[in-house]
Amino acid sequence: MKKSRKDMVFNLSLVALIFIAVIIVENIPGVNPMLSTVLKKGSIYALVAVSMNLLNGFTGLFSLGQAGFMLLGAYTYAVITIPDSAREKVYMYVKEGSAVSRSWFDNIANGLHLPEGVSNIAIMIIGMLAGGLIAAFFSWLIGLPVLKLKSDYLAIATLGFAEIIRAIFQWDKLGPVTNGSNVLRNFPTFKTAVFPLTVSAICILFIVLLINSTYGRAFKAIRDDEIAAEAMGINLAHHKRLAFVISSFFAGIGGALLAMFQNTLQATPFKSAMTYEILLIVVIGGIGSVSGSIIASFLYISASEWWLRGLDSGKFLFIESPAVLRGGFRMVVFSVIIMIIVLFFRKGIMGERELSVTRFLNFFRKKDGKNEENS
């Protein structure tokens, strides 16, 4: 108990330090704008990766529906929060115009005389929660038949679901709600990285608390041995559905954050490739390690958005070679790096362990102890 409390304090202070660093960095002019992008997108991907890890790593359900649930969250957020004044312009290609309005919220906000900043934050939080809830509802619905499947079959079924959802959202009959395949924009977004970092931190904290609770142990038991878990009184259907719904809820919130990050929203990028990206982060970080997923997502986003960018534009480190280093070369190098990681770090960066100050200290203490014995 004591040991884990020490780690908890350490991790929380680490998070606080990161926050202070981010606030300072963002307010210094002249810092590479890429850093801000990495912080924003990295924190969003960290949340989605951790939610996927809850399902794939801790409950042992190999699901590939993450992009679909992110799409649900993102669209729900955007559709709910676009200001009424902007709706006409956004839905200009849809004959019927927008079928949704946020006047109910504006009325309440006006009634309470909320300042604009507060009401903006409020609608953002409401939108995100709605996004999460819609994603959770759909996951519950699809979970009813699909969670009876095992391993690869579950992966195929959820992957199919994600693709179907994407196709449906682009259907022009749903235009009044989803704007068909046209772009949704003008919804409220965040400016600094503090907002996505805060939301991600709160959500990840909840997931960590859940994993360390008795339900988390039940999830792990299901992953380790379904038959034994069931014989110990753990209701398989209920717990699998629970893990699926919670994971999708946070994927939905992650999707809403991604919509804010992108400023505009279209269904096209939410392809299975996005799920694979997140799966890759989970695998690189270590299946069954929350801190691994977080570290891996920041590394992945840094590499793909920032460090390896130069490979596409002909400049990388000190090499200038427009003949070799041109569009698409980044992905070649990136693939090689990923292959090396998968070949040589098969359990990912962290394996199943977590970032732990006590283990870190014990490691050195043990070493010291051994040295004393030897001398």
The residues that touch another protein, with contacts defined as CB under 8 A, are 206, 209-210, 213-215, 217-218, 220-221, 223-225, 227-237, 242, 246, 288, 352
The C-alpha atoms of residue 312 and residue 308 are separated, in whole angstroms, by 8
3-state secondary structure 320-357: ECCCCCCCCHHHHHHHHHHHHHHHHCCCCCCCCCCCCH
Give the shortest CB-222-to-another protein separation in angstroms. Answer: 9
Of the pair 186, 356, the CB lying nearest another protein is at: 356
Q: Which residues on adjacent β-strands are paired with residue 106?
A: none
Q: 325 and 312 in contact (C-beta within 8 Å)?
A: yes
Q: Nearest approach, Cβ of 132 to another protein (angstroms)? A: 14
CB of 224 to another protein, least distance (A): 4
Residue with tokens 């819609």: 134
- In the complex, the smallest distance separating the C-beta of residue 215 from another protein, rounded to whole angstroms, is 5
Nearer to another protein, 238 or 370 (CB): 238
C-beta of 166 vs 223, nearer to another protein? 223
Q: Which one, 220 or 271, has the nearer CB to another protein?
A: 220
**Nearest distance from C-beta of residue 288 to another protein, angstroms:** 8
In angstroms, the CA 316 to CA 296 distance is 22
CA dihedral angle for residue 176, residue 180, residue 183, residue 187, rounded to 10 degrees: 30
Smallest distance from the beta carbon of 234 to another protein, in angstroms?
A: 6
Residues in the chain: 375
Q: Please say which residue, 215 or 307, places its beta carbon nearer to another protein.
A: 215
Nearer CB in complex with another protein: 3/370: 3
Residues whose CB is less than 8 angstroms from the CB of residue 140 and which lie 6 or more positions away in sequence, other chains included: 241, 244, 245
> CA 107, CA 119: separation in Å to the nearest integer?
11
99 or 210: whose CB is closer to another protein? 210
| Of 218 and 278, CB closest to another protein | 218
Are the C-beta atoms of residues 46 and 204 closer than 8 Å to each other?
yes
Least distance from another protein to the Cβ atom of residue 201, Å: 15
Whether the CB-CB separation of 196 and 204 falls below 8 Å is answered with no
CB of 367 to another protein, least distance (A): 20
Q: How far is the CB of 232 from another protein (least distance, A)?
A: 4
The least distance separating another protein from the CB of residue 233, rounded to whole angstroms, comes to 3
Sign of the dihedral through C-alpha 206, 209, 214, 220: positive
Q: Report the alpha-carbon angle 148-150-152, nearest 5.
A: 135
Residue 365's nearest CA partner among 10, 373, 289, 6 is 373
196 or 288: CB nearest another protein:
288
Cα-based distances in Å from 148 to 56, 135, 154, 234, 271: 15, 20, 8, 16, 25
- Bridge partners (DSSP) listed for residue 319: 316
Quote the tokens at residue 224: 């380790």
Strand 319-320 and strand 315-316: the pairing is antiparallel
Nearer to another protein, 31 or 228 (CB): 228
